[in-house]
């Protein structure tokens, strides 16, 4: 029993969480599910004024929520920094309140950080992109309550086939 408990404890030590908002959560999740070291993803909502909002409520842009992907990752196989790079390389971080044809505050580009280390990394990459001449619309906000979206939104592209239309990978770094 002690060995089993130790294995669970060591597993918990390598798990970390990132909250990524880069437009439609279906496309964001598509790319993060395929990233090395990502253990699990869940799409949902964060940053608004309503507890347990539905997709229909968030879609009105009246709740203040953003479509977010909760990314659970193994920090021995990837890092928050690697995930931030993927975040910037899979959406238009210069577009305000939308991604491509998806327009609205629920689609804004946000890195929701859970600690000072994540905040520093996110800030560093925004500064790096600014130095490269980009006008970065991405905001950094403190993570608040995460509300999972309905089941039919989870792993949307994997369940239905296809690939995202507004989240295309392009190497920047």
CATH code of the domain containing 67: 3.30.1060.10
Q: How many domains does the chain fold into?
A: 1
Dist. CA 112–CA 134, nearest whole Å: 21
Has residue 87 been placed in a domain? Answer: yes
Has residue 128 been placed in a domain? Answer: yes
pLDDT tens digits for range 51-67 = 999 999 999 999 999 99
Task: Output the pTM of the full model.
Answer: 0.91
Catalytic status, residue 166 = no
Q: Are 103 and 97 in contact (CB under 8 A)?
A: yes
Has residue 45 been placed in a domain? Answer: yes
Q: Tell me the residue range of the domain where 73 lies.
A: 16-160
Dist. CA 111–CA 113, nearest whole Å: 6
pLDDT tens digits for range 85-116 = 999 999 999 999 999 899 999 999 999 999 99
Strand partners, 69: 20, 43
Q: Which residue among 18, 20, 21, 24 is the active-site one? A: 24
């Amino acid at each position: 029993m002690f060995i089993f408990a130790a294995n669970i404890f060591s597993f918990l030590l390598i798990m970390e969480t990132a909250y990524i908002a880069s437009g439609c959560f279906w496309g964001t999740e598509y790319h993060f599910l395929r990233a090395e070291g990502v253990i699990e993803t869940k799409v949902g909502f964060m940053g608004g004024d309503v507890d347990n909002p539905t997709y229909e409520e968030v879609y009105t842009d009246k709740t203040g929520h953003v479509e977010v992907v909760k990314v659970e990752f193994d920090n021995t196989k990837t890092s928050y920094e690697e995930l931030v790079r993927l975040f910037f390389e899979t959406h238009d971080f210069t577009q305000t309140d939308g991604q491509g044809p998806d327009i609205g505050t629920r689609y804004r580009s946000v890195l929701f950080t859970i600690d000072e280390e994540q905040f520093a990394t996110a800030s560093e990459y925004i500064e790096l992109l600014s130095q490269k001449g980009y006008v970065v619309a991405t905001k950094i906000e403190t993570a608040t309550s995460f509300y999972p979206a309905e089941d039919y939104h989870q792993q949307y592209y994997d369940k239905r086939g296809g690939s995202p239309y507004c989240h295309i990978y392009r190497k920047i770094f």
